[in-house]
Each structure stands twice: as structure tokens, then as C-alpha cells.
Structure 1
Amino acid sequence: MKRFVGLVVVGCLLLTGCSLFKSKEEKSAQELISEGMEDYSQKKYRASIESFQKLKDWYPFSKYAILAELKIADAYFQIEEYDKAISAYESFESLHPKNEATPYVIFQQGICQIQQMETIDRDQKAAKSAIEVFNRLKRQFPDDPNAKKADEYILRATRNLVAHEFIIGQFYYKSKHYEAARERFRGIISNYEDVGYHQKALDYLSKCDAKLARESARK
């Protein structure tokens, strides 16, 4: 008898616990998307990510799941966590390549790279990636409004790249590594559009040729 009563008590506790957990934690997809969008509009981006992520995890087949995926990426972008934003945008593009938001998603990947560009004396990986992304956007969606904005960002990234190559060339020249300097200046002229450095590169190229000719004459 005591054992039976004990089992009944344990059963009631389990049922009560489950009921409490459900009422406290489980929300509908509609509730989660509403909360997420409300937090996002109030710039509570981390809170919005939490709601959107729950929606994705609990209701992966909901009609709101795609919107949640997109807004997670946008929220990471707003809080300047660009690597996470890029990952989320790339995931969205991979899962929904024909979605109407895909051109915007590619554009945002490029903007994330632009935001991560280093000064001209540092590594230019982000600038190179930005150019690749924006050129891909132009190829895949040439008529999209976002593609028409791409050129200004390609130019901005290219300027960074060319300036970086130029200062490396100058460094080699000043260090009397004329052959290495010449290759950098040639690369600027051959590989990049003129963004204000071609004439400077040509001038240094002539100087390098002259220095190398003198060195050769001494041998």
C-alpha cells in the first residue's frame, strides 16, 4: 500500500513537472517570430537571436523558419559579429539558393567583408574576399538592385589592395630589393584597374629598372 501511494506521488510530481516545463518554455512559432521581430526592432539583437534560434530548433518546418534564419544573420551583422553573420548568410544561401532574399544575402556577405578590411599595411584577405563576393553577385543577379551597388564596394576594396601592394613595393625598393619591388609594381599595373597608383607604379618601375641595370653593369 505504501509503495502504491509512493508511486502515485512520484507520478503526480512528474506530471506536474512536465506541465510546468511546457507552460514555461514552449512557445508557438508565431509567438517566437513575434518576440524575435519585436526585440530586433528595439535593437535587442541578442534577445532576438535567442528567439529566432529557438524557432529554428523547435519548428524547423514552420513557415517562419526561413525568416528566422535570415534575421539571425542580420542580428549578428548589427552587433558587428561579422564572422558569425557571414556564416549565417552563407548557410541561408546554401539552403535557399532560389529564395528572393538570396541577392541581398550575398550582398551582405560582401558588406561583412568590407567591414572587416584591415588598414593598407595589414593583410588584405577581407578585401580580396569582398571583391570575389561582389563579383559573384553581379554574375548571378546582374539586374538586382543590390548588384548595382556592388561596383562602389569593389572599387573600395581594390583601392585597399592596390595601396597595400604599393607600400610593399616601396618597402622592397627602399631595402634595395629591386627585383622584388619591380614585380610588385608590375603586378599593380597588370592585375588591377587604375585607382590612382598606376603612374606611381610606372615611375617606381623605371627606377627599379635603372637600379638593376646599374647593378648588372658592375658585375
Structure 2
Amino acid sequence: MKYLTLFLLAGLLTACSPTQDATPDSPEIYFQEAEAYQEKGLYNEAIESWEKVRDSFYSPELTMLAELKLAETYYLDERYPEAASAYRDFINQYPGDPRRASATYWLGMSYFQQMLSVDRDQTSTRNALSAFNELLRLYPGENDEQEIRSLIQQCQNRLAAHELYVGRFYLRSKQYPSAVKRLEDVLQQYPDYAHNDESYYNLVVAYLRMDDRSKAEAIFQDFSDAYPASPYLLKAQKKLEK
């Protein structure tokens, strides 16, 4: 990758100024410094050099390349919010650029790295999911589809686990209509979630506590059809028998 970007740089600089030698404050020198700093893991220094390349306004293409390398360096430095912002800016500013697919992937990964535990806000998870879905929709075949689908599944699992967590919280708090809504959302929006047997169980309990026995029995029937071997099924049956 290093040699590819240096090759691109050489072409850009030669095309724009074939007879001009590099000076200490030229974009070529800053570019080479940034590459060297980045390779050594000196990301703050690399970022400063990429910014100098970008701010030189040497050419539109060189500016685009510097902006993309800035985003890459933020990601390598685990500064994921800055990386996400930089990748999003690149995507919005250059919608026709052929590197947009790669930028969309790394945008998704920047959000993915910011995902929080199920008991906390899931904005980053939703943003990652949106980026990965956009990648499959707009750029089929340009990335490892199996990897992207795995990332999508991980995001969906996190969101489902969050909804189940909130549903259980409402159930404990005796806010039964709110619990029902959350638990039904899990089953409808994330039918492949591995722990939906627990969603069914809590939904049966919620309807029983709302004195809606007929609905609880209907949910139990769906539960038994979907998860006949679940340990939660026997627990739900005992609740119904009381």
C-alpha cells in the first residue's frame, strides 16, 4: 500500500509540475514524511503531515488522497470518532470517487469499533449497520460479502440484545405495555437472534401480568413451535399453569 500511494503521488506531482524540484515544505516531502511516520506508528506526527498535504491544495486529487489517508491514520490510532467523521466527509464530498466503497467499509468499521455494551446507547451500532447495508446495496462484489454479512449479523445481534435488555427492565419495573412493545420488536425485527426463546418467555410473562391470558397462550404456542427444546419453554408453561 505504501508503494502504491507513493506511485500515485509521483504521478500526481509529475503531471502537475514536471520540472519543479521538491522543497522542504512541498506536498511531496510532507507526503513522504506522513507515510514514514504512519509506518512507524507515529500517528500524531503522521496526521500533522497529512494535514499539511491536504492544506497545500496542490491538486484536487492530492487533496482527496490526503483526506483519505487522514481517515486511515485516525483509524489506525484508534481515534474512531475522528475516523468516522473523516470517512463520512470523504463519502459526502466525493460521491463519484472509485474509493467510495472502501471508505464506506472503513466508515462502518469505525462505528463498529465504537459499539457499546447492550445496556448502553446503541447509536454506533445502528450507524455501523447502516454503513454495512449500504455497502452491500451500492457496491455488491467490491468487498468480501461473507465478512460484511457477518458484521451485519453481529450488529443485529447487539441491537436485539439491547431490545431484550430494555424489555426485561420494563418487565421488572412493571411497565408491561412498554415491555411488550420491546419484546415484540425483538421477535419481529430480529427473527434470527439466537436468544429469542428468552424474548418469547418474557413476552408470555408480560401478557400474563397484564391479565391477557389469551394473548399469553397464543404467544406460548408460537414459542413452542419455534423452540420446542428451550429450557425457557417449561418455565413459561409453569407460569401459564398457575
User: What interval of TM-score do these two structures reach, taking the shorter chain for normalisation?
Assistant: 0.7 to 0.9
Q: Deviations over 1:4-54 (max 9, x none)?
A: xxxxxxxxxxxxxxxxxxxxx952222111111111111111111111111
Residues in 1 aligned to 2:25 and 2:159: alpha-carbon distance in whole angstroms: 49
Give the structure 2 partner of residue 3 of structure 1: none
Give the structure 1 partner of residue 193 of structure 2: 195
Is 2:123 aligned against 1:125?
Answer: yes
Give the structure 2 partner of residue 27 of structure 1: 25
Normalised to the residue count of structure 1, the TM-score between the two structures is 0.81
2:33 counterpart SS class: helix
Which stretch of the first structure deviates more once superposed, 55-64 or 135-144?
A: 55-64
Give the structure 2 partner of residue 101 of structure 1: 99
In the TM superposition, residue 128 of structure 1 has moved relative to its aligned partner by 0.9
Which stretch of the first structure deviates more once superposed, 88-97 or 68-77?
A: 88-97
In the TM superposition, residue 185 of structure 1 has moved relative to its aligned partner by 0.8
Higher relative contact order (CA 8 A, sep 6+): 1
Contact 1:142 1:148 (8 Å CA) reproduced:
no
Residues in 2 aligned to 1:50 and 1:200: alpha-carbon distance in whole angstroms: 51
Q: Deviations over 1:33-81 (max 9, x none)?
A: 1111111111111111111111111134165332211110011111111
Q: 1:177 aligns with which of 167, 175, 178?
A: 175
Give the structure 2 partner of residue 114 of structure 1: 112
Is 2:44 aligned against 1:49?
Answer: no
Is 2:152 aligned against 1:154?
Answer: yes
Q: 1:140 aligns with which of 138, 141, 146?
A: 138
Query: Residues 147 and 73 (structure 1 numbering): CA distance in 2 closer, same or farther, change over 3 Å?
Result: farther
Give the structure 1 partner of residue 205 of structure 2: 207
Q: Deviations over 1:59-106 (max 9, x none)?
A: 341653322111100111111111111111112212322323211110
Letter in 2 for 1:205: L
1:76 counterpart SS class: helix
1:64 counterpart SS class: helix
The percent of aligned pairs where both chains have the same amino acid is: 28
Question: Size of the alignment, in residue pairs?
Answer: 192
Give the structure 1 partner of residue 87 of structure 2: 89
Residues in 2 aligned to 1:63 and 1:179: alpha-carbon distance in whole angstroms: 56
Letter in 2 for 1:56: R
Contact 1:141 1:147 (8 Å CA) reproduced:
no
In our comparison, the structure showing a higher alpha carbon Rg is: 1
Residues in 2 aligned to 1:158 and 1:214: alpha-carbon distance in whole angstroms: 30
Normalised to the residue count of structure 2, the TM-score between the two structures is 0.73
Residues in 1 aligned to 2:102 and 2:48: alpha-carbon distance in whole angstroms: 23
Contact 2:27 2:58 (8 Å CA) reproduced:
no
Residues in 2 aligned to 1:209 and 1:108: alpha-carbon distance in whole angstroms: 43
Residues in 2 aligned to 1:184 and 1:90: alpha-carbon distance in whole angstroms: 31
Structural RMSD (CA): 2.1
